[in-house]
A and B are shown apart, each in its own frame.
Chain A
Amino acid sequence: MSFFKKIKNKISGTNEAVAEKFKDGLTKTRDSFTSKVNDLVFRFRVVDEEFFEELEELLLQADVGFETVMELIDLLKEEVQRKNIKDTTGMQSLISEKLVEIYNSGEEVSSELNIVEGRLNVILMVGVNGVGKTTTIGKMAARLKKEGKTVMLAAGDTFRAGAIEQLVVWGERTDVEVVRQAEGSDPAAVIFDAVKAAKKRNVDVLICDTAGRLQNKVNLMNELEKVHRVIGREIEDAPHEVLLALDATTGQNALIQAQTFNEVTNVTGIVLTKLDGTAKGGIVLAIRNKLDIPVKFVGLGEGIDDLQPFDPEKYVYGLFANGLEMEETEDEENETAEDK
């Protein structure tokens, strides 16, 4: 069975709707990237240096980043040599296989949220300005509520105008309580209050919003560290999740973002937002490769349930779905009689 089929089966076995959503959300991504890969395979026929050069360019254009692309290309070249592959048929699946391999090469980390029943779970949302932290929190609250958890939100972005109101609107939409103070108050104090309130009300999950901050602003990063510390002082081992929101359109700077936020708050996972545009978010491969931070969720639209758990295979499936469909039709043509 081909690699694609394996994934396809795995996905459809679990949840058809989610796979569809991934496919829909990634349509634009896929159209541009996959069709190019197909085009490449079609044009070259023979695997040679030029083929790799063009492939390298494709990946660079997906923001994967130089070093990781080089690594991938080396892996592929090795494989091609080992298996003595001459023509380009089947290269699509080899490429995606290696992409998943690079992603999975790090430590085995579950992409599930670290939520344990019977305790107060604290999630801290961090990231630079305008990546979609508050929106993600809204969607995540809806998601957790659907799973039957009680959720509380903390309006820790006391800096940006309208940020508190934005979270309050999400609170109303999802019917979740929002702990807030006036704009301009100390974020650590807001979070402190929220933790107290969450303990008292016995909620399952407290999600803390923070103001967007550029990672090179030392004062603001110190402030974030304080927020992190305050949570840890109130509850042992907390925050249980520190999620870094990353805009899929962001280029190489995302790597520095991940690194710096990780130093300050010990990031446990990434939420890749705005993946429904044409941006590919390839930088998450580099981040995973270099820093071993897994992607836990992806934002695939503006709707309340457009936040989906990340699965590297599905992600790659989304990227290569066209290739898959082509392969499938070929298969079907071969075995029509048996199927129908």
Chain B
Amino acid sequence: MAFEGLAERLQGTMNKITGKGKINEADVKEMMREVRFALIEADVNLKVVKQFVKTVSERSVGQDVMKSLTPGQQVVKIVKDELTNLMGGEQNPIQFARKSPTVIMMVGLQGAGKTTTTGKLATVLRKKHNKKPLLVAADVYRPAAIQQLETLGKQITVPVFSMGTDQSPVEIAKQAMEEAEREHNDVVIIDTAGRLHVDEALMQELKDIRELTNPDEVFLVVDAMTGQDAVNVAKSFDDTIGITGVILTKLDGDTRGGAALSIRTVTEKPIKFVGMGEKMDALEPFHPERMASRILGMGDVMSLIEKAQENVDEDKAKELEQKLRTQSFTLDDFLDQMQQVKKMGPLDEILKMMPGANKIKGLDNAKVDESQMGRVEAVIYSMTLAERENPEIINASRKKRIAAGSGTSTQEVNRLLKQFEEMKKMVKQMTNMQQKGKKKGKMPGFDAFFK
């Protein structure tokens, strides 16, 4: 049920269009429909989508898309460029006050991850900016919210200012400022209670804290999984309190995170950090381009293509393609392939860049064992040329010899041969499918190589 990315979606439309020779405005319109679907499925707000599609479609109709040989890819590129632009090209660092302390306020809905992010932010400030932060526990409503911050403070050895749950958050903030003065903390991070943007009393309380502490940064903490409502939330918080930036949390999940675009468009405030995990140092600067790829479900294809271009020998690739078609693919070619892939860099990184890789369950945690590749190489090197051309001739005694020669076991030799056989089958299926013009299936057994 994982959602199709934009590229896959466009593929369908493209298949209809190819063969026409030229594409017209109606085709572009059709493609824009797919763009719209893809963005909605990524949880980008509908109004934002509309505006966005309009911009993209103007660019597409006018430009080279219609003349291009690969209009689908052109559209994807335009969409991605526009997305990246919209999300703010440059990275946006924290604004520090000229006169210490710098005050940072954390606001947001319940369960967005304010307290956890407060701890992470303190870690970043201490490690990367050499600051001495003070955390302020101003969430007096949720049970044990103060304990949560205190525990985090202990974990990262950062002091936490708290006054229990009987004081008003405004009073706590006030006293915390004095405490920071006394203890010479140069950053004060105020963790406020989660609240609904429609709760007027609680929003007023945030306003009061803001007025009192005059913060340099007010961060709206938003769950990356938020749906269409993200715009309402962001707009309300921005209108009532005035935010200076956004922190997107839980981005280590598999959500597309279209909320990022919605919020950015509505508030025009920069996204400054993203939460990428449960550990205290899992807070990273925001990269608009990566976010754009993610929203489109593309994987980091651009860098993958760049890497491939750098490393893959074009003639060899053509030769290989021919072999695949005629099914004269041998273990030698297999070895060749492996070496080419290896040149591109660590395998698990490459896998992550692959579009659709996020759909393969467990790939996040998959550790590709590079030494395993070395063993496979050794096994193939221990074969005679005849054996490599024609693996069918490998009988029990040959297997024993190969195992001894490569320092592996016959089981390993068996496994490689079986996998190679499976791969050939798969390639056969794929080429058959392509000839029939059917949609390309998944690649079964591909990951079996890396287990």
Give chain B's interface secondary structure class: loop
Decide if A274 is an interface residue (CB 8 Å cutoff).
Answer: yes
Residues on A with beta carbons closer than 8 Å to the beta carbon of B196: 274, 276-277
User: Given the known A-B contacts A66-B40, A183-B151, are A132 and B111 also in contact in the complex, defined by CB atoms under 8 Å?
Assistant: yes
Question: Inside 8 A of B132's CB, which chain A residues have their CB?
Answer: none
B364 & A60 in contact (Cβ 8 Å cutoff): no
Cβ of B298 within 8 Å of any chain A Cβ, yes or no, is: no
Number of interface residues of B (CB under 8 A): 56
Give the distance in Å from the alpha carbon of A170 to the alpha carbon of B145 in the complex: 13
Number of interface residues of A (CB under 8 A): 53
Q: Do the beta carbons of A214 and B252 come within 8 Å of each other?
A: yes
Question: Which one of B239-247, B253-261, B284-292 is at the A interface?
Answer: B253-261
Report A172-211 residues with CB < 8 Å from chain B CB: 173, 183
Contact call A249/B227, Cβ cutoff below 8 A: yes
- Give a binary string over B133-145; 1 marks a CB under 8 Å from any A CB, 0 the rest: 0000000011111
Do A63 and B253 touch across chains, with their CB atoms under 8 A apart? Answer: no
Cross-chain contact B144 with A278 (CB below 8 angstroms): no
Please encode chain A, from 289 to 331, with 1 for each CB lying within 8 Å of some chain B CB and 0 for all others: 0100000000000100000000000000000000000000000
A234 to B45, CA, bound (A): 47
| Closest A residue to B108 using CB positions | A130
Beta-carbon contact of B143 and A166 below 8 Å: yes
Question: A231 at interface (Cβ–Cβ under 8 A)?
Answer: no
Once A165-B144, A290-B1 are accepted as A-B contacts, the answer to whether A130 and B256 lie under 8 Å apart by CB is no
Report A278 CB to chain B, min CB distance, Å.
Answer: 5
A299 CB, min distance to chain B CBs, angstroms = 10
Q: Is B111 in contact with A247, judged by CB distance below 8 angstroms?
A: yes
Q: Within 8 Å CB of B112, what residues of A?
A: 130
Q: What separation, in Å, do the CA atoms of A165 and B225 have in the docked complex?
A: 27
Q: How far apart are A68's CB and chain B's nearest CB, in angstroms?
A: 12
Query: Is A130's CB under 8 angstroms from B113's CB?
Result: yes
Q: Does A62 contact B (CB under 8 A)?
A: yes
Once the chains bind, are A251 and B110 in contact (CB under 8 Å)?
no
Cβ of A115 within 8 Å of any chain B Cβ, yes or no, is no
Taking a contact as CB atoms closer than 8 A, the residue among B1, B144, B230, B232 that contacts A169 in the complex is: B144
Query: Which of B111, B144, B155 makes the CB contact (< 8 A) with A130?
Result: B111
Residues B1-28 near A (CB distance < 8 A): 1-3
Is the CB of A2 closer than 8 A to any CB of chain B? no
Quick check: is A12 within 8 A (CB to CB) of the other chain?
Answer: no
Decide: A280 near B361, CB < 8 A? Known: A129-B113, A130-B112: no
**Contact assessment for A259 and B1 in the assembled complex, using a CB-CB cutoff below 8 Å:** yes
B 144-179 to A, binary, CB cutoff 8 A, 1 in contact else 0: 111111111001000000000000000000000000
Q: Say yes or no for A283: interface residue by CB 8 A criterion.
A: yes
Q: For A60, what are the chain B residues with a Cβ–Cβ distance below 8 Å?
A: 40, 46, 228
Tell me which of A62, A162, A218, A277 contacts B144 (CB under 8 A): A162
Separation in Å of the A64 CB from the closest CB of chain B? 9
Q: Select A251's contact among B37, B152, B197, B259, beta carbons within 8 Å.
A: B259
| CB interface residues, A 225-276, toward B, < 8 Å | 247, 249-256, 259, 274, 276
Chain B proximity mask over A106-142: 1 for CB below 8 Å, otherwise 0? 0000000000000000000000111110010010000
Q: Which residue of B45, B146, B197, B252 is within 8 Å of A277 (Cβ)?
A: B197
* Cα of A178 to Cα of B295 in the assembled complex, Å: 42
Contact assessment for A253 and B46 in the assembled complex, using a CB-CB cutoff below 8 Å: no
- Given the known interface contacts A160-B148, A249-B109, the answer about A218 and B365 at a Cβ–Cβ threshold of 8 Å is yes
Residue of B nearest to A31 (CB): B198
Partner of A61, one of B116, B119, B228, B252: B228
Complex CA distance for A233 and B417, rounded to whole angstroms = 42
| A253 lies within 8 A of B225 (CB) | yes
- Check: B62 CB closer than 8 A to any chain A CB: no
Contact A251 B255 (CB under 8 A): yes
Determine whether the beta carbon of A255 is less than 8 Å from that of B229. Answer: no
What are the residues of chain A within 8 A of B252 when measuring CB–CB? 214, 216-217
A98 proximity list for chain B (CB < 8 A): none
- Contacts of B116 on A, CB cut-off 8 Å? 160
What is the CB-to-nearest-CB distance from A137 to chain B, in angstroms, rounded to a whole number? 11
B73 → A minimal CB distance (Å): 24
Inter-chain contact A170/B109, CB cutoff 8 Å: no
Q: How far is the CB of A46 from chain B (nearest CB, A)?
A: 23
Q: Which residue of A lies closest to B153 (CB)?
A: A161
Task: Please tell me which one of the listed residues B110, B148, B151, B197 contacts residue A278 in the complex, with CB atoms under 8 A apart.
Answer: B197
Closest residue of A by beta carbon distance from B278: A159
A256 / chain B contacts, CB cutoff of 8 Å: 1-2, 254-255
B136 to chain A, nearest CB (A): 16
Interfacial chain B residues near A153, Cβ < 8 Å: none
A251 surroundings in chain B (CB, below 8 A):
43, 225-228, 230, 255, 258-259
Query: Does chain B have a CB within 8 A of A336?
Result: no
B223 within 8 A of A: yes
29 sampled A-B residue pairs with Cβ under 8 A: A61-B45, A61-B46, A61-B228, A128-B225, A128-B250, A161-B147, A162-B144, A165-B143, A166-B144, A166-B148, A169-B144, A173-B143, A215-B253, A216-B364, A217-B365, A247-B111, A247-B225, A250-B223, A250-B225, A251-B43, A252-B3, A253-B253, A256-B2, A276-B196, A277-B196, A278-B197, A278-B198, A278-B229, A302-B141
Q: Which residues of A contact B (CB under 8 A)?
A: 28, 57, 60-63, 65-66, 128-132, 135, 138, 159-166, 168-170, 173, 183, 214-219, 247, 249-256, 259, 274, 276-280, 283, 290, 302
7 closest A-B pairs by CB: A251-B227, A162-B148, A130-B111, A251-B43, A169-B143, A161-B151, A165-B144
